[in-house]
């Protein structure tokens, strides 16, 4: 019953170091979409809102086919930006082709 066959396993020390590096990077760079960390689909908020990077994977019963982050009122980028900030996920970037269930139409 050895548990040594897990290539994805890393130490707590490695985790802390990685988390610190992400934090420092986030604080030391301008908040452009290219520099922002991407929202993790496994993040509790992302899960609660059913956020995904690829809207085409969403059950059509849950999402009208014309709704993407890049045409949502809360998307902080241009329509052709692959990634941009979203006010629902402060400090993170969401995918232009993504979606979540609080999608809102842009003001006309």
Residue numbers of the site for ligand SF4 (CB under 6 A)? 51, 69, 72, 74-75, 86, 88, 94, 98-100, 102-103
At its nearest, how many Å lie between ligand SF4 and the CB of residue 19? 23
At its nearest, how many Å lie between ligand SF4 and the CB of residue 15? 26
- For residues 28 and 80, give the distance between their C-alpha atoms in angstroms, rounded to a whole number: 26
- For residues 41 and 68, give the distance between their C-alpha atoms in angstroms, rounded to a whole number: 15
- For residues 53 and 50, give the distance between their C-alpha atoms in angstroms, rounded to a whole number: 10
At its nearest, how many Å lie between ligand SF4 and the CB of residue 30? 20
* Closer CB to ligand SF4, 26 or 76, in the complex: 76
Which one, of 82, 98, 104, lies nearest residue 50 by Cα? 98
* Closer CB to ligand SF4, 7 or 105, in the complex: 105
């Amino acid at each position: 019953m050895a548990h040594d066959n897990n290539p994805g396993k890393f130490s707590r020390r490695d985790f802390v170091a990685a988390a610190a590096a992400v934090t420092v990077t986030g604080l030391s760079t301008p908040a452009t979409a290219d520099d922002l960390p991407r929202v993790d689909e496994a993040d509790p908020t992302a899960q609660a809102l059913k956020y995904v990077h690829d809207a085409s994977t969403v059950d059509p019963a849950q999402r009208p086919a014309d709704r993407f982050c890049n045409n949502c009122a809360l998307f902080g980028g241009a329509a052709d930006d692959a990634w941009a900030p979203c006010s629902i996920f402060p400090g993170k970037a969401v995918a232009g082709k993504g979606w979540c269930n609080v999608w809102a139409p842009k003001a006309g």
